Amino acid sequence: MPGGVPLFSPPVLLAIKPPLFFHSIMAVPKREKKCKLDIVIFPLFYKDRRLGTMELFEHYLMLAKRLNYSQARQPLSVRTLANELSCTERNAKLLVQKMQKRGWIEWRPGKGRGHVSYIRLLADYDAVVIAEAKKRASEQSLDAAIQLVQTYSRSHASSRSFIDSILNSINLEQIEQEDHLRFPTYRGVCALDPATIHRRTENHLMSHLFNQLVKYDPNNGCYIPDLAHYWETDTTNTKWTFYLRKNIFFHNGQPCTAVEVGASFLRHTEKSPYYWGIQHLHRLSALSPYTVEFCFSKPTPHFLAFAASLGGAIVYKDEMTSFPIGTGPFSLSDHSSKRLRLQAFPRYFSTRPHLDAVTMYIFPALYDNEPETAFLAANQLNFYHYPYVEKEEHHFQQQHSMDIGCKLLSLNKKHGLCANDTRLREALFHFLDPHSMIQDIGGTRSIPADRVFAQGQSVLTTRNRLKGQASLLKSNYHGEELQLYSYTGAGNERDAGWIEQTLKAEGISVRLHLLPYHELQQLDLEQKADLLLGEQLGYDDKVYGYFSLFFDRHRFLYSHVGTDDLEKAKRLWHQELKTETLLASLQTIETSLCQAHYLLPLYRLKQFALYPEYVKNVALNAYGWVDYTTIWLKRGKS
């Protein structure tokens, strides 16, 4: 060991810390008599990027932040500038010169000792960001461009401008070969697990990830095979047996058997929105790898309605991943605060989607519920694909439909001021006129809802403000504060604000509580909330829609409806009736609640999608979203 240094000793690693970054000095012993050391200096990575190759754009971002994004002239010494840009004073001057040539800044250096230098931002900050995003879209990827705007854009208008410009100015056939549907949306989604969530967007996405034992056919009004090819029930409707298809695989490659089917239903605990469907399940058996038997303690003649819903989704529980795993036509390949991506599942047992991938980019700034003419407002525009051709070379098509469900306000029948005060409920009904609400707020709020679901005759009388004022005078209300609870998103903020201001003008005080969805579900709303505002989703299966309305613990009616009404609905769940008779009986309960003003249906949304003409076979589902399993893209020019 010459010089006392082992020939195979690990290199000596030292670190020096200049401002905001590191260089490492590695000493490597050489096999010489005097054991000289070679000193190797290399830059460490900082924010996933080597400082030596940091782009001018990134230095501009640092400078703009230092100047508080103001275009006013400001004093700034070279030394301070160098510190802000994490470089030497010489390099700071070079960077300033380059930014001046780009027209981004104006720099007036102070001459001589003691003279102050001045700097001013010339270019619009967001314009520089969007220009860089377009460059990255062409040279790198669309994901890189979109991530840059999501991270650095400060202006809501600029984010929209970006969507309209960059997403319509790139020939994607030169960038990627797969059929990839991309669009913006305003809200990221929660965990896509039917046992924990029941919201419009999440339900839509989960319908592409999971299959059920059976599915509902709206065209023929019946249930048809899905994962099960055959099923039967006994004469008492307490035993249901399903026979599974073979060679069906989950997204992780595991086979779908009776064990996974049974485990999926048992995941619904009391906190699940679908607990009601298995509440009386007392035994679940895997009779064979492809035969599963459900035994209930009470007759359950309408179990197929539940089995065909997302409550019947078959989920593989894998502790190695947080992503939901199903057998559906798409798998989840990316889920973050910035984007969500679905990938076509190549081993899907039924017809493979024409699309290869679907990506939603999350832009919270787009949440404002504007009308369809402002088609970049992504909370209602759930489908706005990147064209393969210039925007002016094609015409946008539009699909639209009316929501089956409605925005619903429920009044507490179990507890509080509204429970026993008929006159107060009458006053609230007359004051909260959906026509005025739609006119005042606008957006995609389209028509008044005269009952919960868009079917059957109206069950409500015309609103009349004078009648409302007369009812309020006869009520027992004496200025108490009504507590209104809702969740953020879905336009609830503006709806709740309108309700508060409208009732305030009539002398009724309301306190708003707008909470994230999951936080709201943790509260004892029966005790806390006089009023609950939220969406009642619509479904193709009307029978399931009504049972979900009464029993779903994530829907607000469950917290407010009376015990007598729930018992009536439960008797119908356990009673074998023809569909028409069953629906009429369920609608009778709904009518009673509406006419007693415990339920105030407000409005229905206009659902629509804008898309270029090369996107084919577009269809809106019951959630008001585009069905990704049917879309295909017509490539090439004729």
Span 365-389, average pLDDT = 41
Sign of CA dihedral 555, 335, 146, 612: negative
pLDDT of the residue at 84: 84
Query: Which of 303-307, 398-402, 561-565 is the most confident on average?
Result: 303-307
Query: Which of 67-71, 96-100, 499-503, 550-554 is the most confident on average?
Result: 499-503
Q: How far apart are CA 130 and CA 124, in angstroms?
A: 10
Output phi, psi for 501, to 5 deg. Answer: -70, -40
Beta bridge pairs of residue 41? 25
pLDDT of the residue at 91: 87
Is there a single domain that holds both residue 567 and residue 504?
yes
Instruction: Evaluate if residue 86 carries a pLDDT over 80.
Output: yes
pLDDT of the residue at 579: 94
Instruction: Evaluate if residue 553 carries a pLDDT over 50.
Output: yes
Q: How far apart are CA 481 and CA 510, in angstroms?
A: 5
SS3 for 188? coil
pLDDT tens per residue, range 193-225: 999 888 888 999 999 999 999 999 999 999 999
User: What is the total count of domains within the chain?
Assistant: 5
pLDDT of the residue at 476: 95
Instruction: Evaluate if residue 44 carries a pLDDT over 50.
Output: no
For residue 125, give the DSSP letter: H
Is pLDDT larger for residue 459 or for residue 247?
A: 247
Name the pLDDT band for 315 (thresholds 50, 70, 90).
very high
Is there a single domain that holds both residue 97 and residue 238?
no
Span 76-105, average pLDDT = 87
Q: Tokens for 436, please give them.
A: 């005025």
The CA dihedral of 261, 264, 265, 266, to the nearest 10 degrees, is 120
pLDDT of the residue at 613: 78
**Residue 201 in domain:** no
pLDDT tens per residue, range 502-532: 999 999 999 999 999 889 988 999 999 999 9
* Domain finish residue from 277, 312, 347: 312
Domain range holding 412? Answer: 406-606
3-state SS string for 79-121: HHHHHHHCCCHHHHHHHHHHHHHHCCEEEECCCCCCCCCEEEE
CA distances to 192, 209, 249, 345 from 350, rounded to whole Å, are 22, 13, 11, 10
CA distances to 266, 519, 558, 589, 593 from 550, rounded to whole Å, are 21, 21, 6, 10, 11
Span 568-581, average pLDDT = 95
CATH value at residue 554: 3.10.105.10
**Residue 202 in domain:** no
pLDDT of the residue at 395: 62
Is there a single domain that holds both residue 109 and residue 63?
yes
Q: Tokens for 22, please give them.
A: 């590191």
Q: What amino acid occupies position 226?
A: D
Q: How far apart are CA 485 and CA 483, in angstroms?
A: 7
pLDDT tens per residue, range 327-363: 999 999 988 888 899 999 999 999 999 999 998 887 7
Name the pLDDT band for 22 (thresholds 50, 70, 90).
very low
Instruction: Evaluate if residue 10 carries a pLDDT over 80.
Output: no
Is pLDDT larger for residue 433 or for residue 559?
A: 433
CATH value at residue 377: 3.40.190
* Domain finish residue from 99, 123, 147: 123
Span 54-73, average pLDDT = 85
Please answer whether residues 305 and 277 qualify as being in contact, where contact means their C-beta atoms are separated by less than 8 angstroms: no
Is there a single domain that holds both residue 97 and residue 135?
no
Span 549-561, average pLDDT = 87
pLDDT tens per residue, range 383-409: 443 333 334 444 677 888 899 999 999
Q: How far apart are CA 104 and CA 125, in angstroms?
A: 9
Name the pLDDT band for 109 (thresholds 50, 70, 90).
confident
Is there a single domain that holds both residue 412 and residue 511?
yes
3-state SS string for 10-47: CCEEEEECCCCCCEEEEEEECCCCCCCEEEEEEECEEC
pLDDT of the residue at 256: 97
- Give pairs for 580-585: CB < 8 Å, separation 24+: 582/302, 582/543, 583/542, 583/543, 583/546
Listed in sequence order, the DSSP H helices in 192-254 are 200-209
pLDDT of the residue at 32: 43
pLDDT of the residue at 143: 75
Span 107-136, average pLDDT = 81
CATH value at residue 215: 3.90.76.10
Instruction: Evaluate if residue 465 carries a pLDDT over 60.
Output: yes
pLDDT of the residue at 177: 67
Q: Which of 18-32, 363-377, 414-428 has the lowest mean pLDDT?
A: 18-32
Instruction: Evaluate if residue 603 carries a pLDDT over 60.
Output: yes
Is there a single domain that holds both residue 418 and residue 517?
yes
Instruction: Evaluate if residue 4 carries a pLDDT over 80.
Output: no
Output phi, psi for 243, to 5 deg. Answer: -110, 120
What residues contact residue 398 under an 8 Å CB cut-off, 6+ apart? 372, 608, 609, 610, 611
Instruction: Compute and round to an integer the Cα radius of gyration of the chain.
Output: 31
Length reported for the chain = 638
Is there a single domain that holds both residue 373 and residue 268?
no
Q: What amino acid occupies position 448?
A: P
Q: Look at residues 220, 250, 377, 384 and name the one whose alpha carbon lies nearest to residue 315.
A: 250
**Residue 204 in domain:** no
pLDDT of the residue at 50: 35
**Residue 200 in domain:** no
Q: Tokens for 147, please give them.
A: 């991530």
Is pLDDT larger for residue 128 or for residue 234?
A: 234
pLDDT tens per residue, range 407-462: 999 999 999 999 999 999 999 999 999 999 999 998 889 999 989 998 766 767 78
Q: How far apart are CA 131 and CA 62, in angstroms?
A: 17
Listed in sequence order, the DSSP H helices in 236-283 are 258-266
pLDDT of the residue at 19: 36
Beta bridge pairs of residue 249? 255
**Residue 206 in domain:** no
Q: Look at residues 227, 298, 301, 237 and name the one whose alpha carbon lies nearest to residue 265.
A: 227
Give the percent of the chain with pLDDT over 70. 81
Q: Tokens for 445, please give them.
A: 């709020």
Is there a single domain that holds both residue 500 and residue 596?
yes
Name the pLDDT band for 380 (thresholds 50, 70, 90).
very low
Q: How far apart are CA 423 and CA 410, in angstroms?
A: 16
Question: pTM for the complete prediction?
Answer: 0.78
Q: Which of 107-116, 156-165, 509-518 has the lowest mean pLDDT?
A: 156-165
pLDDT of the residue at 49: 38
* Domain finish residue from 105, 123, 141: 123
Q: What is the mean pLDDT of the chain?
A: 82
**Residue 339 in domain:** yes
Is there a single domain that holds both residue 218 and residue 134?
no
**Residue 140 in domain:** yes
Is there a single domain that holds both residue 228 and residue 149?
no
**Residue 258 in domain:** yes
Is there a single domain that holds both residue 428 and residue 287?
no
Name the pLDDT band for 367 (thresholds 50, 70, 90).
low
Span 597-623, average pLDDT = 88
Is pLDDT larger for residue 459 or for residue 315?
A: 315
Is there a single domain that holds both residue 238 and residue 116?
no
For residue 172, give the DSSP letter: G
Q: Tokens for 491, please give them.
A: 């336009």
